[in-house]
């Protein structure tokens, strides 16, 4: 396909981004070209937009941001077999080699040669995006594309929670940004006995309540260690889903996690975190799990099953819908914390068409 397209570009190594124009991408024989229907703002995008310490080490401008999306396939490469023009797809954002020891033993999500869409490559804040066929996830038609776009971050929440036993367990979700509130919903859907949400932003605590949190704690107003030990009879929680990346929150979680508990870490700290390995890890016999994206493609099938079960409450997660031109408003909302998922549409017509 020939022509120009509108994109949100990280043009320079500094805070912010710009609305720009570039050529519609060309595809290779194993790639597909997708017309973007909806794309959502991720916490990673917010890190890149603000140009924090992590972004400064990882991101190489100029490039197109964004990685959570859904769209319609408009062109396929000569060697593409499973995807056809007209299909509606989302994408697994980890582009992997497919042949290393990790990829061939069910661990492609931690492939050494991973490139991440919208981080290491041009992304989805655009009217069109090219992706490998192997990364496409085919969706049913007729579903609001905003809900299809958030399957990727929902997969992060599912992977974090389901990386170990969860049924009948007490769970603390630390950090109720968009993935954190999804984790609350997932924990309830898979029969956690009690879900405790910990967050400094009152708007997001209210979202956590709507999504099923049994107890909410604002650590600026009360001591989370004392409160959690109180509501768990002094035992602590079985599972911590750490979504914040905040050093103090991580240190506190290690104090209120139960002996023999599991702590799954998805949040990305912006600096080194000091922890007491001897007393908070070794002598407590806990398990620390690093969570990288989604298992390919086990997690996607788990997400599909949870959505189809009807047990997963996602109604409150998408709080704002904006045309791409208003992306700065979307990032302001993310910085304020007064939002769930913020979804961008390629233009106002698309927004009017899908956001009814």
Could you tell me the two tokens for 315? 């109604």
Distance CA 23, CA 5 (A): 6
Contact 317, 211 (CB under 8 A): yes
pLDDT digits (tens, 9 = 90+) for 188-204: 999 999 999 999 999 99
- % of residues, the chain, pLDDT over 90: 90
Active site residue 44: yes
Confidence of residue 310 (pLDDT cuts 50, 70, 90): confident
The half-sphere exposure of 142 on its side-chain side, counting CA atoms within 13 A, is 1
- pLDDT in the model for residue 316: 87
Confidence of residue 355 (pLDDT cuts 50, 70, 90): low
Domain architecture of the chain: domains with CATH: 4-150+317-354 (3.90.180.10), 157-290 (3.40.50.720)
pLDDT digits (tens, 9 = 90+) for 11-49: 999 999 999 999 999 999 999 999 999 999 999 999 999
How many angstroms separate the most distant Cα atoms in the chain?
Answer: 65
pLDDT digits (tens, 9 = 90+) for 154-164: 999 999 999 99
Contact 27, 122 (CB under 8 A): no
Whole-Å CA distances, 269 to 110, 120, 135, 239? 19, 19, 28, 20
- pLDDT in the model for residue 141: 86
Could you tell me the two tokens for 115? 């490139």
SS3 content of the chain, % helix, strand, coil (to 5): 35, 25, 40
The active-site residue out of 39, 44, 93, 232 is 44
pTM above 0.85, yes or no: yes
Asked whether the predicted pLDDT for residue 123 surpasses 60, the reply is: yes
Active site residue 47: yes
- pLDDT in the model for residue 356: 53
The active-site residue out of 39, 47, 170, 320 is 47
Do you find a cis peptide bond into 199, omega within 30 degrees of 0? no
Q: Give first-to-last CA distance, the chain, whole Å.
A: 30
């Amino acid at each position: 396909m020939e022509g120009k397209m509108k994109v949100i570009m990280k043009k320079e190594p500094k805070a912010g981004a710009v609305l720009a124009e570039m050529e519609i991408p060309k595809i290779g024989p194993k790639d597909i070209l997708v017309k973007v229907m909806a794309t959502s703002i991720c916490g990673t995008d917010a890190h890149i937009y603000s140009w924090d310490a992590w972004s400064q080490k990882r991101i190489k401008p100029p490039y197109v941001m964004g990685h959570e999306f859904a769209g319609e396939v408009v062109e396929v490469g000569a060697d593409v077999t499973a995807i056809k023009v007209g299909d509606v797809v989302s994408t697994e954002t980890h582009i992997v080699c497919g042949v290393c020891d990790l990829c061939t033993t069910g661990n492609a999500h931690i492939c050494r040669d991973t490139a991440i869409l919208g981080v290491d490559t041009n992304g989805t804040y655009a009217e069109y995006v090219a992706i490998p066929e192997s990364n496409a996830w085919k969706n049913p038609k007729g579903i609001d594309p905003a809900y299809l776009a958030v399957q990727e971050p929902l997969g992060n929440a599912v992977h974090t929670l389901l990386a170990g036993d969860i049924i009948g367990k007490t769970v603390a979700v630390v950090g109720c940004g968009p993935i954190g509130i999804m984790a609350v919903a997932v924990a309830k859907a898979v029969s956690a006995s009690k879900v405790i949400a910990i967050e400094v932003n009152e708007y997001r605590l209210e979202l956590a309540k709507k999504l099923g949190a049994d107890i909410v704690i604002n650590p600026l107003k009360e001591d989370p260690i004392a409160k959690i030990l109180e509501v768990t009879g002094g035992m602590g929680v079985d599972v911590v889903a750490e979504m914040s990346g905040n050093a103090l929150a991580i240190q506190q979680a290690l104090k209120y996690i139960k002996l023999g508990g599991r702590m799954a870490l998805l949040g990305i700290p912006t600096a080194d975190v000091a922890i007491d390995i001897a007393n908070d890890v070794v002598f407590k016999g806990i398990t620390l799990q690093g969570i990288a994206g989604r298992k390919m493609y086990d997690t996607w099938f788990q997400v599909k099953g949870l959505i189809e079960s009807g047990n997963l409450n996602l109604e409150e997660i998408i709080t704002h819908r904006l045309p791409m031109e208003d992306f700065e408003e979307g990032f302001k909302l993310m910085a304020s914390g007064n939002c769930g998922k913020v979804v961008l549409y390629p233009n106002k017509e698309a927004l009017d068409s899908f956001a009814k």
